[in-house]
Structure 1
Amino acid sequence: MNRPILPPLVVNGETVPQSAIAAEAQNHAAPRGKPGLAWRKAANALAIRTLLLQAARARGIAETPRELAPGRFETAEEARIRGLLEAAVAVDPPGEEQVRAEWARDPSRFRAPPLWEVSHILVACDPADGEAMQAARARAGELARRALADPAGFARLARETSDCGSRGAGGALGQIRPGDTVPEFEAALRQLQPGEITAEPVPTRHGWHVIRLDALAEGAILPFEAVRGKIAEAMEKAAWARAARAFLGELVAAADISGADLGAGIATETEDEPAGP
């Protein structure tokens, strides 16, 4: 990408190479024709990373990469930053009263998984074949229009046109729980009310789907004892994220930085998350 004409990035006297900013800018979106925005985002991100690495070196934090997955390890910089945050940021776990108060604020947030009863029409194709995918999309769009025009005829339409083995049952897939289908299919289900049909076909690795939600059984509200551990974990994670941002804010306030704008707010890679089951 073309490098915009911007001042060099200097953090406490340490100059960050423009080549590093250019590489980081590839990870930040910006409107077409405005590479300077991606460049500024990259400069801010590298300013924060440089600050954290400087603080880690000052504290003598060792580079001890952890295995993230079989055969995949942290980089030395990632390990050093993690070690710094582990040493500098600590929070107490929430007490029993705090956790119970979070649950009591709205117990309906904590439910057992829902149960969907679903029918669909599949137009099968290979997603890697662009031409076939486009043709299948057109066919599925026409089937969606026919299904919406005659909802009572959905089962007949599925028997006549679907490429799924469920066509013999009028497209009925039976009862489905979260995790039983591919993510795109499940995401579409979560947007439907009972009796509704997807207005647009839904793409998955199997092809295009026209989906009807036949019935929905909301999961029962879970008792406090069933979700206490997960609520406590989520509250502690959110508290840690706030503390990490505060720590980083202190580093920024004490630093001499040019070529970056960190005044709009500090965010770490770990964001607050609402407590949930």
Structure 2
Amino acid sequence: MTFKPARLLLALVAIASAPAFAQNLAVVNGKAIPSSRADAVVKQAVAQGQGADTPQLREAVKKDLIAREVLAQEAVKLGLDKSADVKQALENTRQSIVVQALARDYIAKHPVADADIKAEYDKFIKTQGDKEYHVRHILTENEADAKAAIAKIKGGAKFEEVAKTASKDSGSAANGGDLDWATPASLPPEFGAAVTALQKGAVTETPVKTQAGYHVIKVDDVRAAKLPTLDEVKPQIQQALAERKLQAFQEELVKKAKIQ
């Protein structure tokens, strides 16, 4: 697999601060490029699925590292590293690196507990509910039109046919107002509450107002909700809780800082 230069550049930036060791990959105009830098790039490339650790990949990395060093030396020779824009960019990069290091250090010392992950998962399951509803709706711009649609259905018209002509929701009207299966938590609050109050096959007696307009709702079917297991969502929950910890840590540091 070809190692793409753009991705290689990102990898190089990510390991730019790696420590130098005695063994060198090459020496460019008297300046050494440590082998450890190439090892880090290769490791990151393999982790990102850009290929296996092969002689071809290592040769590509070596060539790019050498070319990068040559270009960097030329830029310094021209004094470009002294420009205000470059200095600011370097400072931004330095700051980014140390902030990321702080974040890793903080999470390593304050890991997300399995009990917290389980509690968050239980909260998620509770808000989702244990049922899914196959829902149809007719969306109108005003209450009068919604009431007129309800009257037609009560008069014997099929919900699906009324939806095709009366609904302003172009995405579902052609399919008889079909919104497919959904949990109440995934719907607007007023809509979700109306859905849970309906029995299978029932239609709302009065229009339901949301920010989108006025709805006439029908529940085609009800089934047990197919919710993800804890193992399936554990990585996402762990990441979200870690970010929450970091946010709280940041806010606490800002509070303590002397800001003028």
Higher helix share: 2
Bin for the TM-score computed over the shorter chain:
0.3 to 0.5
TM-score under structure 2 normalisation?
A: 0.42
Q: Computing the radius of gyration over CA atoms, which structure comes out larger, 1 or 2? A: 2
TM-score by length of 1: 0.40
